[in-house]
Amino acid sequence: MTRWYSEKKKEHYYKEAKKVGYRARSAFKLKQIQKKYNILKKGYTVIDLGAAPGGWSQVAFEIVGKQGRIIGIDLSPIKPIDGITFFQGDLTEDSTITKITQTIGDRKADVVLSDMSPNISGNYSVDHARSIYLCEQSLKIVNKLLKTNGNFICKVFVGKDIQGLIDKVNEKFQTVKRHSPVASRKSSSEIYIIAKKHQKTI
């Protein structure tokens, strides 16, 4: 663990995050996705799933501004950030989805973000399956709370079930892309599904 932490501290994006005040190096992944795909805009309402420690919420808030709204949810507690609503909850439980619905009110989300990762077991096929499951949970939030023509980003580990997941996303969005940000670790098997223009289905 000591060696891993030492290597992490040497990483460019880790150092840069500390330097500019982002809570996590992953903030740069969202910045790079935004630059390429223009997912977020000023005034948007955003739901950030798996938000801890808050790096993606920080970046989203920079873009949507005070006219927008960020709601972040995670199993772990998140230290407050002015202008952002955080709460603790398990996204696999209906009570959490109900709480998100109550928090967002009548105004549906323009964007749903998910940078969620499963607890890594060391068994890749298990971790891949858990990653797919988390993306499917994110899609439940999309179905309930994302407005027509809204956008969605979801992290997933590459593996045998990824095409089935992408097919499900394709059924709900006009355009779907796979993307690997430069800020992802070279050793990582993660990719991001970038989905734009949500199409409501009856």
Pair 141, 97: CB distance under 8 Å = yes
**Rounded alpha-carbon distances, angstroms, from residue 77 to 52, 161, 201:** 7, 31, 34
Pair 77, 88: CB distance under 8 Å = yes
Per-residue tokens: 51: 């938000």
What type of residue sits at position 155?
K
Per-residue tokens: 8: 């992490």
* Active site residues per annotation: 155
Hunting for tokens 């992490």 — which residue is that?
8
Q: What residues are paired with 45 via a beta bridge?
A: 69
CA distance 68 to 79: 20
**Inter-axis angle of helices 55-64 and 27-37, to 10 degrees?**
40
Pair 128, 160: CB distance under 8 Å = yes
Measured at the CA of 93, the angle between CA 90 and CA 95, to 5 degrees, comes to 100
Q: How many residues does the chain have?
A: 202
